[in-house]
Structures are given as C-alpha cells and as structure tokens.
Homo-oligomer: A and B are copies of this chain.
Amino acid sequence: MGANSSDSLTPAIAADHPGVGELFAVLAYGEISAFYRLAEDARMSPTLQGRVALARMAGAEMQHFETLETTITARGHDVYEAMAPFVTPLDDFHSATHPSTWLEALVKAHVGDGIAADFYREIADSLDPSVADVVREVLAETGHSEFVVHEVSAAVASSTQVKDRLMLWGRRLLGEAITQAQYVMAQREALTELVITASGDLNGIAALFDRMQERHAERMAVLGLV
C-alpha cells in the first residue's frame, strides 16, 4: 500500500492531477501493445486451444482499451496524442522481452500482465475513487490464467532444464519491466510526481518495487517456478 492506502479517507491524488491523464494514456497504450504482443506470440502455439486462449486475452485487452479511450476522451483529450509518448518505451519493453518459445510466451502473458497490474493497483490506492475505479476495472484479469498455469506447470514438472530457463526468463521480465517503468517516469514529470505522491516518497517507491518483487515471486511459484 502507498502512503494513502485504500482504507484512508482522503486519497492523496485528485481526479484533476495532471499525472492522471498520463496514467490513463500509458494504460491505454499498454492494452494496445499487449493486444499485438499476444496475437503475435500466439503463432508459436502448438494447438488451436493455445491460439484461442491468447486471442481471448487479447480481446479482453481491447475491451479495457475502449474503457480508457472513453475516459480519456471524456476528459477532453485525444487518445492518440495522449498515448504517443508511451509508444516507444512500451514497444521497447516488448522487443527486449521477445519470447523464443511458446512456454516463454505463456509466462510473459501471465507474469508480465501481473507485474504491470501490481504496479498500477498500488498507485490506485492513492487515487480519487472516480479514477481508481477505472484503473481497477482495466486491470481486471484478462482471464484464462488457468490455461497458462496448467500448460506451464506441467512442462516445468517434466523438465528441470525447462524450469531453469523459465525462471531466468521470469527474472528478466521483471528486470525489463522495472527498467522501462523508470524510463517512463524519467520522461513524464506529472506522472512521476503522481507515483511519488502515491508512494509517499522515494523510499515509498523503493518499498513499492520490493512488494512487486515479492508478488512476482508468488506468481512464479504458482507456475511451479520456485
């Protein structure tokens, strides 16, 4: 939880904080880039079930995008202009973590989304409810993690080599995600100010990244990657 947790009475960050628009915009482009990453990675699926599972997740990302687009437009901004600053860092994250196997693709779909969701949920706790509700809505499970958990844990149980490679892969996903998050914040003053306020202070941000690391480890454990 940030300095202003969900059970505090007055959220630190008002709906008109300049960083809120940037927060919605980075979330919006995150949905678009996730859509295309899932659609592309699905081509590695050995089964129709796998292709359908990733297409479902991608479809859910688009529903979340449309929620964000409505919100951004209602706030008087153009969604494409708003997303523009986040295209390069998010595309860079995906090209830096391009899966080379179907199992890596599944782990990325599951763990990557989880890392992002942890970050935004922590922030949401300090946002005005009208803003926090949108953030939480678009972070809702894209579903079908059962499929990923089943596929990955079965493969991991049957091969130590596969397990070792996927554990390294998971670590790399977390590292790249934090690198890109820091890059984005270095670029966007208002968003950075929002994150610092949400976290309390710079120590709060360090603590936030520690908690993200813990949740990441829990998520990996669910996949048998422990």
- A residues near B (Cβ < 8 Å) are 32, 35-36, 39-40, 42-43, 48-49, 51-52, 55-56, 58-59, 61-63, 65-66, 80, 83-84, 87
Contact = CB atoms under 8 A, between A and B. Distances in A.
A110 to B, nearest CB: 18
By Cβ-Cβ distance, the 7 closest A-B pairs, closest first, are: A59-B62, A39-B39, A59-B59, A35-B55, A55-B62, A48-B80, A49-B80
A83 B48 contact: yes
Given A39-B39, A39-B40, A32 B58 contact: no
A7 B191 CA distance: 59
Nearest to A31: B55
A26 B84 CA distance: 39
A120 B172 CA distance: 48
Contacts of A51: 32, 36
A32 B59 contact: no
Query: What secondary structure prevails in chain A residues at the interface with B?
Result: helix
Contact of A59 (B40, B43, B58): B58
Given A48-B80, A48-B83, A49-B80, A59 B39 contact: no
Nearest to A87: B48
A146 to B, nearest CB: 15
